[in-house]
Amino acid sequence: MTVRVGVIGTGMIGQDHIRRLTDVIAGARVSAVTDLDADRAAEVAARVGATAHPDGAELIASPEVDAVLVTSWGPTHAEHVLNAIAAGRPVFCEKPLATTAEDCLRIVEAERAHGRRLVQVGFMRRFDAGYRQMKEVLASGSLGTPLMVHCAHRNPTVPDSYTSRMAAQDTAVHEIDVLRWLLDDEIVSAQVITPRATSKRFAHLKDPQIMLFETANGVRVDLEVFVNCQYGYDIRCETVGEEGLVRLPDPAAVGVRTAGLHSTAVPQDWKARFVDAFDTEFREWIATVENGTEPTGPSAWDGYAATVITDAAVASLDSDGAVVTVDMKPRPACYGGAA
Ligand code: NAD
Ligand code: ISE
């Protein structure tokens, strides 16, 4: 069976995933697209042999769509995901699941009422080979109990539209998700402090920011978010346990020696850094749709947790670095909790 995917939002990442579903992933094709920019949707539709629809609701209702991919702007995600659940369609939603905790909970409740998982959230780091190896090492117990995690998330530059809050909501949200999964632990508090600001930023922006998280088991995480670091897209993660540490590898790149220097290229954006993770993420998601099984990647609950934790980080930023307790509802049993 070829899974027919309908894509809502044909912007930057939407087009990258459309390329992936068309040229890289076996067993899938893009059958329908929609975008607020109808010309863009029509151009993409013509390129991949899909039908252009006027809006998300019509696309989801189309008999030519087996599964839905939401790659529109964050504040529109909840509406499309809720419509997909109401139609009983598997839905892959790029992060964030929704921009408010209330909307995330509405999605969780709708999925619970439907009776089986339909939603997967696009936290692609869980599919990265390096993070997966780190998780295996931690799960093996060879490092003893994890105590601390040191992370950095650096982008070369960001546009004027990027705000200080987005450091948590848009950027650190990836660490927030991957650390909950890596440590199999929950984040219970957040604090954001701001060192001296780089001169290479738009004036409204607090950059860099240092985020400190504590987990239910007492693990302490420090995360540098620096989105105008200039030199490249650099993701670092080191977990220190009682008997050793495990560190995320740099992406494989040749070493070049010339003119008295030994150099290795640094990726310049998330597309290049996580290309293999995105491919694996979609390969595994399409396989579950094809087999009619529940998705195995980040759930609606994980999307809710990430939003609640980023809310705590934003509250800390807004209150000059106060430690803010994460206000999370008890996890329902269908998402692996006790409630
Ligand atoms: P973009 O602005 O390039 O594209 C978004 C597109 O969605 C635009 O073409 C816009 O016209 C369209 N759109 C907006 N609302 C719509 C609606 N209701 N119906 C139909 N079309 C609509 O943005 P982008 O960079 O592609 O980001 C899209 C989403 O992907 C965001 O949620 C972002 O956080 C996420 N993202 C994830 C990663 C990652 O690393 N996983 C990286 C970049 C972006
Ligand atoms: C972007 O939306 C992403 O998701 C990237 O992975 C992240 O590095 C970047 O900071 C965000 O703006």
Pocket of ligand 1 (CB under 6 A): 8-14, 34-37, 40, 56, 71-74, 76, 94-95, 122, 124, 170, 270
Query: How far is it, in rounded angstroms, from Cα 284 to Cα 226?
Result: 31
Query: How far is it, in rounded angstroms, from Cα 92 to Cα 97?
Result: 9
Atom from ligand 2 closest to the CA of residue 173: 4
- pLDDT tens digits for the chain (339 residues)? 899 999 999 999 999 999 999 999 999 999 999 999 999 999 999 999 999 999 999 999 999 999 999 999 999 999 999 999 999 999 999 999 999 999 999 999 999 999 999 999 999 999 999 999 999 999 999 999 999 999 999 999 999 999 999 999 999 999 999 999 999 999 999 999 999 999 999 999 999 999 999 999 999 999 999 999 999 999 999 999 999 999 999 999 999 999 999 999 999 999 999 999 999 999 999 999 999 999 999 999 999 999 999 999 999 999 999 999 999 999 999 999 888
| Region label for 118, one of left (φ > 0), alpha (ψ between -120 and 50) or beta (otherwise) | alpha
A 10 A CB-CB count for 151 gives 22
Query: How far is it, in rounded angstroms, from Cα 279 to Cα 10?
Result: 18
Peptide bond between residue 208 and the one before it cis (omega within 30 degrees of 0): yes
Query: How far is Cα of residue 68 from the mean position of the Cα atoms in its chain?
Result: 17
Peptide bond between residue 249 and the one before it cis (omega within 30 degrees of 0): no
> Kind and range of the H or E element at 261?
strand 261-264
Fold entry, domain 3-122: Rossmann fold (3.40.50)
- The answer to whether the CB of 315 falls within 8 A of the CB of 307 is no
Q: What pLDDT, on the 0 to 100 scale, is given for residue 77?
A: 98
- The answer to whether the CB of 162 falls within 8 A of the CB of 170 is yes
What is the separation, in whole angstroms, between the first and last Cα of the chain? 38
Distance 72 CA to ligand 1 centre (A): 4
Tell me which residue of 37, 30, 72 sits closest to 54, measured CA to CA: 37
Q: What pLDDT, on the 0 to 100 scale, is given for residue 338?
A: 83
Fold entry, domain 126-269+304-335: Dihydrodipicolinate Reductase; domain 2 (3.30.360)
Q: Which ligand neighbours the alpha carbon of 16 most closely?
A: 1
Tell me which residue of 208, 209, 224 sits closest to 149, measured CA to CA: 224
Q: What pLDDT, on the 0 to 100 scale, is given for residue 1?
A: 85
Distance 279 CA to ligand 2 centre (A): 17
**Domain extents for the chain?**
3-122, 126-269+304-335
Query: How far is it, in rounded angstroms, from Cα 263 to Cα 339?
Result: 52
Tell me which residue of 114, 9, 158 sits closest to 70, measured CA to CA: 9
Instruction: Return all residues near 133 (Cβ < 8 A) that are at least 6 apart.
Output: 249
